[in-house]
Amino acid sequence: MHGTSAQLGEIEAIATAVEATPPAADVLICPPSTLIARAALAARGRIAIGAQNCDAAVSGPHTGDVSAQMVKDAGGAWVIVGHSERRLHHGETDAMVAAKAKAAWIGGLLTIICIGETQAQRSAGQALSVCTNQIAGSVPDDIIAASNAIGYEPLWAIGTGHTPTVEQVVEVHGHIRQCLVARFGARGSEIRILYGGSVNPENAYEFLAAPEVGGALIGGASLKAKDFNAIVRAVPIVAERAQHSAVA
């Protein structure tokens, strides 16, 4: 819940930087729904625009909700589903997240499906099992690898300034990859896994260079073009290994 029309200049600045020096990445900004249409106009195809959420229904008496078709109509190409804040503050279950992902695909959107453990779960040694269960419940069977990404969010690192070690991220991302391959076979090896949790210009390269990290899901550092662009510029350094995504 950040951003009004006054902040559209930040999106313009990000798009201009990407146009001037095209990165080896897919660059996406997901503003609040009130700004999607205007953000798409500001981006002018130079970067992708997406939504932070969508409803599982195509239409109907769902006051206050936004459908995937509405996001698409406004100029959005992606949508984030299952973000930790949606799960925590709105009680979204794995089944609800899976239903939203399917609705997004039907509506022509690409998805970032978010998973991740709380501090209590990590302290109890449950981080990997939580991710296993959330993948099983939140990712529909008919996922298309090229059209989707998994966003790993250690909840205790979101907006706190606390970040896991690279070794912790590598462990979880490796486990997520194993789960995806075990379930989807070859498709599972192609789904990008994004790391999200207090990524900033100072630590972006370290995380992006880690095995099985296929991009970054950026929170607070996406609010200022200067910070976000610095993260995007970290991608070419590690791009020879694989394509990456800098995502907000």
pLDDT over 90 percentage in the chain: 88
Burial of 120 (0-12, 13-18, 19+ CB in 10 A): exposed
Domains and CATH numbers, the chain: 5-247 (3.20.20.70)
Catalytic residue among 10, 83, 117, 175: 83
Q: Are 157 and 195 contacting, i.e. CB atoms less than 8 angstroms apart?
A: no
At 157, is the pLDDT very low, low, confident or very high (cuts 50, 70, 90)?
A: confident
Instruction: State residue 245's pLDDT score.
Output: 52
Catalytic residue status for 10 = no
Catalytic residue among 10, 153, 175, 212: 153
Q: Each residue of 35-59: b (16+ CB within 10 Å) or e?
A: bbbbbbebbeebbbbbbbbbbbeee
pLDDT over 70 percentage in the chain: 94
- List, in sequence order, every beta strand (DSSP E) within 59-185: 78-81, 110-115, 148-152
The average pLDDT across 33-37 equals 98
At 240, is the pLDDT very low, low, confident or very high (cuts 50, 70, 90)?
A: low
Catalytic residue status for 190 = no
User: How wide is the angle at C-alpha 100 spanned by C-alphas 211 and 30, nearest 5°?
Assistant: 60
Q: Are 58 and 65 contacting, i.e. CB atoms less than 8 angstroms apart?
A: no
Please tell me the pTM assigned to this model: 0.94
The rounded Cα 71 to chain-centroid distance in angstroms is: 16
- Phi and psi of 159, rounded to 5°? 70, 10
Q: What is the pLDDT of residues 39-96, one digit of tens each?
A: 999 999 999 999 999 999 999 999 999 999 999 999 999 999 999 999 999 999 999 9
